[in-house]
Amino acid sequence: MNKALFAIDVQKFFENKKTKSIARKISNYIKKNKNKYSLIIFTVFKNDSESSLWRIFKWRGCNKRKETEIINELSNLVDNSKIIFRNTYSLLKAPQVKRKLRKYKIKQVDICGFDTDCCVLATTYDLFDSGYKPVILKNLCFSTSKEKLHKSALRIIERNCGFLSR
C-alpha cells in the first residue's frame, strides 16, 4: 500500500516545551521510518488576508516569517521545496496536496504534528471523505491549547473516521 506522511504545522508558532519534545520524537520517527513512505509532506499554516481566521475572527497571528519556520529539530529533514504553505485548517484544501496524493497513488496517510484539535482533526475528516485511510500517530501529535482538547480530538477521530497508531 502506498503511504504518505503528513507532518502538520511543525512550525515555530506552535513551539513550546511540550511540542519541542514531540518535534524530537517526530524527527526520530522520520529518520527511522522514511523508507516506509512514498511521500512525506511538511505543512505550515500561514495566516493571511484571504484566510477565514483573518477575515472572520480578525486573528492576525501566525503570519510572520519566524512563526512559519519549521521547528529547528525538524528543519534538517525537510527541503524547503517540500513545505506546503496554506491558510486553511485542512491540508486537502491546498490543491497541490491532492495532486501529490494522486501522483503517488496514496491510499493511507499517517499524520503527526500540531494541533490535534484543529488542523489534524480537519485534515483527518477531509482525508476520510476523499477516500483515504487516515492514521493518527497519536504519540507524535499534540494540541498547544490544552491536553484535554488533544485527548478529546483523538477520541473524536477514532470514533468517526481515523485510526490511531503509536
Start-to-end C-alpha separation, the chain: 19
Alpha helices in 34-118 (DSSP H): 52-55, 72-75, 95-103
C-alpha to C-alpha distance for 127 and 123, rounded to whole angstroms: 6
Q: Give the CATH fold of the 3-165 domain.
A: Rossmann fold (3.40.50)
Provide mean pLDDT across the span 45-72.
96
Beta strands in 69-149 (DSSP E): 83-86, 108-114, 133-142
By three-state DSSP, how is residue 53 classified?
A: helix
According to the model, what pLDDT value does residue 18 have?
86
- Asked if pLDDT for residue 162 goes beyond 80, the answer is no
Residue indicated by cell numbers 473516521: 161
What is the band of 145 on the pLDDT scale with cuts at 50, 70, 90?
Answer: confident
* 57-65 contact pairs (CB < 8 A, 24+): 61/13, 62/13
C-alpha to C-alpha distance for 127 and 75, rounded to whole angstroms: 26
Instruction: Write down the pTM of the prediction.
Output: 0.94
Domain ranges of the chain: 3-165
According to the model, what pLDDT value does residue 148 have?
86
Residues 6+ apart with CB under 8 A from 19: 71, 114, 142, 144
- What mean pLDDT value characterizes the chain? 94
What is the band of 64 on the pLDDT scale with cuts at 50, 70, 90?
Answer: very high
pLDDT, tens digit, for every residue of 118-141? 999 999 999 999 999 999 999 999
Percent of the chain with pLDDT over 90: 84
